[in-house]
């Protein structure tokens, strides 16, 4: 690497691609709390009537533009644009509401007073509805992935919109010790990705002093995973797989294999999503910590998602509720 490349890597990072990306457009919506919007990436070639739908949730202080690679710093989750084009996937990235100059989510951490008080669950539900109606999203293949505070929001979505989802994934996030929402009652396949040395989201739980008022005490990563495993009836020891020297993948599977929980532990990893193509500036590693370069997080999530379908009991439950509401 030459001197100029080294400077660029340290101050700007890297934004490499392996193939074409789906085009991105903006969609505006009016909600009870006021104007909201989201970005959507729809494959340029339409090969079938229904396509998987992936909802991508940005972290605190970031945005839909940043998480899809349209604003600095380059987000590893922007690799979803390549997956969308290659795999015929519709990707939507809602924007959190602005509060104190930064976009944030009402993620259900009861002790975080800085969270907006809007109904983000209903907003994301409406985004899903619109993507299904207008962009050919398949209601049987709806997936949610979020990073950091977006991952905390993904846990809430998984708890409150479970009948609508086929699976979910969280990156660098844990569930709250004290939540303002009801704990999940419907099992879902889950991929949980966490850094062993994350300075913001302690792997063993609690609250980091560096996060000030932005977070509150969280469950540990393994305790969070254990809650979803218990709900899904996934007992026993996991299958453990060493990935290079930088991560361990723990997998618990049900008898038919449809219900699954995967915990991807990033050894020595900090508060940065794994990627070989989308590299944060080197200077960032001084504080958020090490960014894994052996895994591509969006590809990991797509591998986990692509064979999952909405469970039969979730379908009937949601449809019964929808019918009941329609008849009121």
Q: Identify the pLDDT of residue 11.
A: 62
Q: Identify the pLDDT of residue 88.
A: 97
Radius of gyration of the chain (CA): 19
66 token code pair: 């940043």
Strand partners, 27: 38
| Tens-digit pLDDT profile for residues 17-28 | 999 999 999 999
Residue 327: is its pLDDT beyond 50? no
Q: Identify the pLDDT of residue 99.
A: 79
Cα gap 8→257, rounded to integer Å? 44
262 token code pair: 């995967």
Residue 64: is its pLDDT beyond 80? yes
In the chain, % of residues over pLDDT 90: 78
Cα gap 136→139, rounded to integer Å? 9
- Which residues, at least 6 apart from 162, have a Cβ–Cβ distance to it below 8 Å? 184, 185, 186, 187, 188, 314
Q: Identify the pLDDT of residue 48.
A: 81
Average pLDDT of every residue of the chain: 90
Please answer whether residues 130 and 42 qualify as being in contact, where contact means their C-beta atoms are separated by less than 8 angstroms. no
pLDDT top residue among 19 and 327: 19
Average pLDDT over residues 193-213: 90
Q: Which residue, 95, 101, 92, is CA-closest to 37?
A: 95
Q: Identify the pLDDT of residue 46.
A: 82
DSSP assignment string, 177-233 = SSBSSPPP-S---EEEEEETT-SSS-TTSB--GGGTTS---B--HHHHHHHHHHHHT
**Sequence-ordered strand ranges (E) for 267-306:** 278-279
Position of tokens 């209903």?
122
| Tens-digit pLDDT profile for residues 129-184 | 999 999 999 999 999 999 999 999 999 999 999 999 999 999 999 999 999 999 99
- Which residues, at least 6 apart from 323, have a Cβ–Cβ distance to it below 8 Å? none
Strand partners, 208: none
State whether CATH 3.30.450.40 applies to domain 3-322: no
Q: Identify the pLDDT of residue 210.
A: 75
Q: Identify the pLDDT of residue 321.
A: 46
| Tens-digit pLDDT profile for residues 222-279 | 999 999 999 999 999 999 999 989 999 999 998 766 899 999 999 999 999 999 999 9
H-type helices in 32-166, by residue range?
64-67, 80-87, 120-135, 149-160
Residue 16: is its pLDDT beyond 50? yes
Tell me the helices (H) and strands (E) count for the chain, helix number first. 8, 14
Residue 215: is its pLDDT beyond 60? yes
Residue 322: is its pLDDT beyond 80? no
34 token code pair: 């006021």
Residue 312: is its pLDDT beyond 90? no
3 token code pair: 């001197």
267 token code pair: 């050894």
Residue 315: is its pLDDT beyond 60? no
Instruction: Characterize 68-88 residue by residue with b for buried, 16 or more Cβ atoms within 10 angstroms of its Cβ, and e for exposed.
Output: bbbeebbbbbbbbbbbbbebb
């Amino acid at each position: 690497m030459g001197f100029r490349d080294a400077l660029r890597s340290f101050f700007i990072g890297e934004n490499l691609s392996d193939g074409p990306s789906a085009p991105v457009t903006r969609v505006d919506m009016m909600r009870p709390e006021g104007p909201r919007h989201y970005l959507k990436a729809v494959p340029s070639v339409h090969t079938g009537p229904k396509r998987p739908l992936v909802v991508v949730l940005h972290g605190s202080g970031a945005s839909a533009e940043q998480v899809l690679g349209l604003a600095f710093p380059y987000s590893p989750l922007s690799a979803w644009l390549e997956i969308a084009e290659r795999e015929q996937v519709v990707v939507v990235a809602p924007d959190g509401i602005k509060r104190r100059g930064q976009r944030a989510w009402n993620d259900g951490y009861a002790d975080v007073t800085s969270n907006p008080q809007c109904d983000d669950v209903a907003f994301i539900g409406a985004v899903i509805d619109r993507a299904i109606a207008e962009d050919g999203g398949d209601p049987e293949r709806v997936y949610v992935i979020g990073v950091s505070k977006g991952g905390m929001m993904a846990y809430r979505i998984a708890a409150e919109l479970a009948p609508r989802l086929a699976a979910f994934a969280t990156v660098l996030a844990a569930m709250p010790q004290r939540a303002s929402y009801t704990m999940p009652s419907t099992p879902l396949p889950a991929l949980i990705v966490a850094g062993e040395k994350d300075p913001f989201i302690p792997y063993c739980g609690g609250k980091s002093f560096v996060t000030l008022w932005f977070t509150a005490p969280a469950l540990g990563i393994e305790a969070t995973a254990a809650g979803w495993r218990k709900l899904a009836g996934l007992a026993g020891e996991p299958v453990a797989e060493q990935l290079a020297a930088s991560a361990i993948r723990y997998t618990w599977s049900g008898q038919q294999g449809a219900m699954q929980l995967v915990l991807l532990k990033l050894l020595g990893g900090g508060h940065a999503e794994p990627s070989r193509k989308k590299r944060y500036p080197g200077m960032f590693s001084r504080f958020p910590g090490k960014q894994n370069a052996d895994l591509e997080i969006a590809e990991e999530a797509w591998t986990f998602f692509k064979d999952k379908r909405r469970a039969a009991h979730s379908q009937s439950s949601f449809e019964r509720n929808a019918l009941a509401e329609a008849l009121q």
